[in-house]
Amino acid sequence: MNLFDVYPINPINIVKGDGSLVYDDNGTEYLDLYGGHAVISIGHTNPHYVKRLEDQLHKIGFYSNSIEIPLQTQLAEKLGHVSGKEDYQLFLCNSGAEANENALKLASFYNGKKKVIAFRKAFHGRTSLAVAVTDNPKIVAPVNETDNVIFLPWNDEAALEEAFRNNEVSSVIIEGIQGVGGIQVAPIPFLQKIRSLCDEHNAVFIADSVQCGYGRTGKFFSHDFADINADIYSMAKGMGNGFPIGGIIISPKIKPAYGMLGTTFGGNHLACAAGLAVLEVIEQDSLMQNAADVGGYLIEELKKFNKVKEIRGRGLMIGIELPEELANVKKDLLFKHNIFTGEAKPNVVRLLPALNLTKAYADRFLDAFSKTLSNS
Ligand code: PMP
């Protein structure tokens, strides 16, 4: 059997990881500033994480959601504490798309309405509703097509007000910083406007924090920069540092109803152990502060390169927009300097490293970036 050919593949076989470094099967070392697309939050093979998962696996890895799983309660408590959203409730699932799918469904259950506002260039996942609110016609199959989604331009308050006019809006889903869309930071007044329109119209504010959440920006949720509370936050990626786990946290105004949400694997013992280990490390090692400090340093240093068109982002979620003729920079960083980065459009380099990236590794990147630009 062959693999179904869906991803463009680099001919590199990564077999080992250690913090911000990974190694291929020839022993070559790479600096990982991509973290498997914002997944590696506390670094590869973090000892506390490895031990917690190993210990749990020796006890029990999985049973089912038909029994009490105290680890789920512990995870909810810890998440409430670290994120500051103590009065929210946690529903656990397995991926970002599934989290958004459940958030959109729950919103519609809650207010009985159907329309969803999403934004141009948004990415929310590849399941049915998640793909319908994603602005990429290439990944919507006929079965996902719906006229319930209204796509609005980014940061257009007049269009937003207009879309709310007939009071049919169930929810607004927005990334605090668009990731796949090229690292576009949602302006604070725009997020605040969404909050007040949702309040006025009994609509649900869904903060997709799958990529921009979990401390990456220096705050737990990037929407926190606007000093607002969303009604639902969706999370995945960094939540498990590589172990598949996703979830939504739900404000107290939305009450649960039996049968509304569910999943076989969500919140299994191993996933909870991974989730707890991640939060413990984020807290103990002050990783949000580190993301703010090292990310802030990188952003300031990157602004000094005059060949760069624009630097966008917050903390350790950074987009470097290059002139189109420099679109090969990402490949050069990987194949000439052994540095993994991500991309959005061919000419935006995305940095999504582990939150404990050191300043020395940031400098290693800046040095390689400078050499790559001067040879381009
Ligand atoms: N939302 C955002 C903002 C994302 O970046 C992604 C993944 N790139 C998803 C949702 C979907 O997450 P998953 O791949 O875990 O389904």
- Please give the distance, rounded to the nearest whole angstrom, from the Cα atom of residue 208 to the centre of ligand 1: 9
Task: Give the C-alpha separation, 330 to 349, whole Å.
Answer: 6
- In this structure, are 67 and 216 located in the same domain? yes
Select from 284, 317, 342 the last residue of a domain. 284
Angle at 258 between CA 253 and CA 260, to 5 degrees: 75
Inter-residue long-range contacts of 328-332, CB under 8 Å, 24+ positions, other chains counted: 328/376, 329/369, 329/372, 329/373, 329/376, 332/372, 332/375, 332/376
- Please give the distance, rounded to the nearest whole angstrom, from the Cα atom of residue 179 to the centre of ligand 1: 9
- In this structure, are 175 and 306 located in the same domain? no
- Please give the distance, rounded to the nearest whole angstrom, from the Cα atom of residue 166 to the centre of ligand 1: 30
> DSSP letter at 325?
G
Q: Give the DSSP letter string of 265-280.
A: STT-HHHHHHHHHHHH
Q: Is 123 in the pocket of ligand 1 (CB under 6 A)?
A: yes
Task: Give the C-alpha separation, 343 to 350, whole Å.
Answer: 5
Q: Is 95 in the pocket of ligand 1 (CB under 6 A)?
A: yes
Q: Is 124 in the pocket of ligand 1 (CB under 6 A)?
A: yes
223 close to 216: Cβ distance less than 8 angstroms: no
Position of tokens 């409430």? 80
- In this structure, are 163 and 247 located in the same domain? yes
Q: Is 164 in the pocket of ligand 1 (CB under 6 A)?
A: no
- Please give the distance, rounded to the nearest whole angstrom, from the Cα atom of residue 331 to the centre of ligand 1: 23
Q: Is 175 in the pocket of ligand 1 (CB under 6 A)?
A: yes
Alpha helices by DSSP H, the chain = 35-38, 47-59, 70-83, 96-111, 128-132, 157-164, 188-200, 269-284, 287-302, 329-337, 359-374
Q: With CA atoms as reference, report the closest residue to 267 among 72, 49, 61, 67.
A: 72
Residue 2 lies in a domain: no
Residue 59 lies in a domain: yes
Tell me what pLDDT residue 322 has: 96
Tokens of 352: 């999504």
Task: Give the C-alpha separation, 60 to 176, whole Å.
Answer: 37
Q: Is 240 in the pocket of ligand 1 (CB under 6 A)?
A: no
Residue 266 lies in a domain: yes
Tell me what pLDDT residue 376 has: 75
Q: With CA atoms as reference, report the closest residue to 210 among 248, 250, 183.
A: 248
- In this structure, are 297 and 334 located in the same domain? yes
Spacing of C-alpha 292 from chain mean position: 16
User: Structurally, how many domains does the chain consist of?
Assistant: 2
Select from 284, 299, 331 the last residue of a domain. 284
Residue 1 lies in a domain: no
List the domain range (segments joined by +) for residue 21.
14-46+286-374
Phi/psi at 30 (5° precision) = -125, 145
- In this structure, are 178 and 239 located in the same domain? yes
Task: Give the C-alpha separation, 24 to 331, whole Å.
Answer: 17
Q: Is 118 in the pocket of ligand 1 (CB under 6 A)?
A: no
- In this structure, are 246 and 312 located in the same domain? no
Phi/psi at 264 (5° precision) = -65, -50
Q: Is 211 in the pocket of ligand 1 (CB under 6 A)?
A: yes
- Please give the distance, rounded to the nearest whole angstrom, from the Cα atom of residue 247 to the centre of ligand 1: 12
Give the count of beta carbons closer than 10 Å to the beta carbon of residue 237.
Answer: 29
Tell me what pLDDT residue 358 has: 98
Residue 8 lies in a domain: no
- In this structure, are 23 and 82 located in the same domain? no
- In this structure, are 183 and 276 located in the same domain? yes
Phi/psi at 367 (5° precision) = -65, -45
Alpha helices by DSSP H, 156-239 = 157-164, 188-200
Structure ipTM over 0.90, yes or no: yes
Residues 6+ apart with CB under 8 A from 118: 124, 133, 134, 135, 149, 150, 151, 152, 172, 173, 174
Residue 6 lies in a domain: no
Q: Is 180 in the pocket of ligand 1 (CB under 6 A)?
A: yes
340 close to 334: Cβ distance less than 8 angstroms: yes
Nearest ligand 1 atom to the CA of 37 is 8
Question: First-to-last CA distance in the chain?
Answer: 41
- In this structure, are 73 and 132 located in the same domain? yes
CA-nearest residue for atom 12, ligand 1, is 96
Distances, alpha carbon 83 to alpha carbons 128, 213, 220, in Å? 29, 10, 5
- In this structure, are 274 and 147 located in the same domain? yes
- In this structure, are 38 and 57 located in the same domain? no
CA-nearest residue for atom 10, ligand 1, is 124
Q: Is 208 in the pocket of ligand 1 (CB under 6 A)?
A: yes
CATH number at residue 267: 3.40.640.10
Residue 234 lies in a domain: yes
302 close to 61: Cβ distance less than 8 angstroms: no
Nearest ligand 1 atom to the CA of 98 is 16
CATH number at residue 310: 3.90.1150.10
What is the full per-residue pLDDT of the chain (376 aa) written as tens digits? 999 988 888 899 999 999 999 999 999 999 999 999 999 999 999 999 999 999 999 999 999 999 999 999 999 999 999 999 999 999 999 999 999 999 999 999 999 999 999 999 999 999 999 999 999 989 999 999 999 999 999 999 999 999 999 999 999 999 999 999 999 999 999 999 999 999 999 999 999 999 999 999 999 999 999 999 999 999 999 999 999 999 999 999 999 888 889 999 999 999 999 999 999 999 999 999 999 999 999 999 999 999 999 999 999 999 999 999 998 999 999 999 999 999 988 899 999 999 999 999 999 999 999 999 988 7
Tell me what pLDDT residue 256 has: 85
- Please give the distance, rounded to the nearest whole angstrom, from the Cα atom of residue 370 to the centre of ligand 1: 31
Select from 249, 284, 319 the last residue of a domain. 284
- In this structure, are 153 and 296 located in the same domain? no
Tell me what pLDDT residue 216 has: 98
Residue 3 lies in a domain: no
Tell me what pLDDT residue 354 has: 98
Q: Which of 7, 39, 123 to mutate to test the pocket of ligand 1 (most atoms within 8 A of CB)?
A: 123
Q: With CA atoms as reference, report the closest residue to 216 among 369, 33, 349, 365.
A: 33
